[in-house]
Amino acid sequence: VIKRADLVLRQRTCRYEIPDGKRLLSESRRALLHITHSSMAWRLTGDDKYRTRAIAELDAACALKDWNPKHFLDTAEMAAAVSIGYDWLHATLTAEQRKRYEDALITKALLPAKKVHDDKGWWFKPRNNWSQVCGAGIGLAAAAVWERDPELCETLFRNSVKIVEGCGEFYHPDGCYPEGPSYWHYGTNFHVLMLAACQALGEKAEVEPVLQRSGEFILQVTGPTGYDYNFADAGSRRAAVTSAQSWIASHFKDAGQAKAVRAGIAKDPEHAAASRLSALHLLWLPAAPGTKAPALRTAARFNGEQPVAFLRTGWSREDTWLAIKGGTGAASHGHLDAGSFVYEAMGVRWCVDLGSDNYNMPGYFGGKRWSYFRLNNRSHNTLVIDDQLQEDPKQPCPIFESGTDGTKEWLTVDLARAYPKQATAITRRAIFDSKTGEARIIDHITQPVGPVRWALVTAAKITIKGPRVTLEQDGLRLHITREDPYGGEWSVMPATPPTTRERQNEGFQILSFTAPKANEVRLRVMRYPNTIGH
């Protein structure tokens, strides 16, 4: 944290820049990182250069003409930044500084928020990560300046607590966050920020027990390479342990999570300190669990709007890992990716998810969403029937069974809801050998209306010899073999979208085959990580 604060000393303060014509958000996040790290470094060292730098950021933030309430995430994050700086530095501030920061919080955050609350604006009810971020940011601001306007602040604070409490439903029934891992870190860090503030203030706030299970989810969603399964609108990112994970492990006294969280920070402390709220690890870090801490599971299934399952041979970088999902594109930030999977072995991600595209493209969150390549099933490791798109059902495709015989794990996804007019029944079964990492994907499609394309996206070099495919990457090889008789040869095509405005996906290819239409199609594909060679 001190190293990060030293970098902040040489960086500019926030300013009023909206480069995409919509968002001030990068400047709000700049202020939040600068203020939390500088203020924490001052409290740790007593060195006034850090306090001075934090005040410079507070002055810059409060001098802005507004905090862009048209895109309220910007306002909420700036409110959190100024509230934390005002609170942590309060004893050292002059009366003039206190008044200036209080005025800014009231006029640029609380009064715009009051209008949203009064109008029951869309994020006022638990909808997605916006409700968590906006609820927490305004809750902190109301708590910080309560004495200035008790009536306004109490109303907004109580409303904010209810908003964040209501967002606990996102994690039901057992911890999977429907907007994917990137938004888990975003929404959950603000969610627990509000819960922690209530605890510090002696205020009541409901802590959903399912948050403990969600702490495990965010560990399971990260593969052996250190990259997470970036389903929904997320980019491929090397996972970092964030402060919400520390809070969850501490609050629930979860020894297994505590061990994993502490190990993740110790492995790469600079990466763990890179996010804007990472200084809060120092307040929430779980105690060392001792040698008897339970090991995390190697097979885990999480249900909900975007059900996901994870199967692995172990928890080292060289272990093998399969992640597969059901779900629906109707979820917030969802893609048409029911049945999709990612796969890692020997420290390589062989089957990838391309992730999100540019939010500012026309209709990205509207009527053109499914026309964009990265968002529909043509770019995911799942099926395309009769060259049609999946649908986005209100009821998600469930993972309806799972089991083990001691060495092999299996699970089945019912995909019928994603293809309601394209087949009468459709399931995808994954079988995983927990010792060798060998994986099988078995698809059963009844009465498809047309040909069935099976595909995966990869960055590896592809060599095809009959039914057998060899992938080569980083000096390693992975073998894939078809075991069904339904016809259609393997083929390779670049993962290029239909328009130039979309990300062009350089370096990625799609390996696929298309089985002809039949009354019933049973496709069986196997991967052999145990035969990888240099």
The identity of residue 99, as a single letter, is K
> How far is 381 from 495, CA to CA, in rounded Å?
12
Which stretches does DSSP call E strand in 319-448? 321-325, 341-345, 348-351, 383-385, 399-404, 408-414, 425-433, 439-446
Preceding amide of 173 cis, omega within 30? yes
> Is-contact 231 340, C-beta < 8 A?
yes
* pLDDT per residue as tens, the chain (534 positions): 999 999 999 999 999 999 999 999 999 999 999 999 999 999 999 999 999 999 999 999 999 999 999 999 999 999 999 999 999 999 999 999 999 999 999 999 999 999 999 999 999 999 999 999 999 999 999 999 999 999 999 999 999 999 999 999 999 999 999 999 999 999 999 999 999 999 999 999 999 999 999 999 999 999 999 999 999 998 888 999 999 999 999 999 999 999 999 999 999 898 888 899 999 999 999 999 988 888 899 999 999 999 999 999 999 999 999 999 999 999 999 999 999 999 999 999 999 999 999 999 999 999 999 999 999 999 999 999 999 999 999 999 999 999 999 889 999 999 999 999 999 999 999 999 999 999 999 999 999 999 999 999 999 999 999 999 999 999 999 999 999 999 999 999 999 999 999 999 999 999 999 999 999 999 999 988 755 444
Instruction: Find, among 354, 133, 136, 146, the residue nearest to 231 by Cα.
Output: 354
Residue with tokens 């019912």: 414
Q: How many C-beta atoms surround the C-beta of residue 225 within 10 A?
A: 16
On the CB side of 525, CA atoms within 13 Å amount to 25
pTM of the model: 0.96
Query: Which of helix, strand or coil describes residue 464?
Result: strand
CB neighbours (10 Å) of residue 122? 12
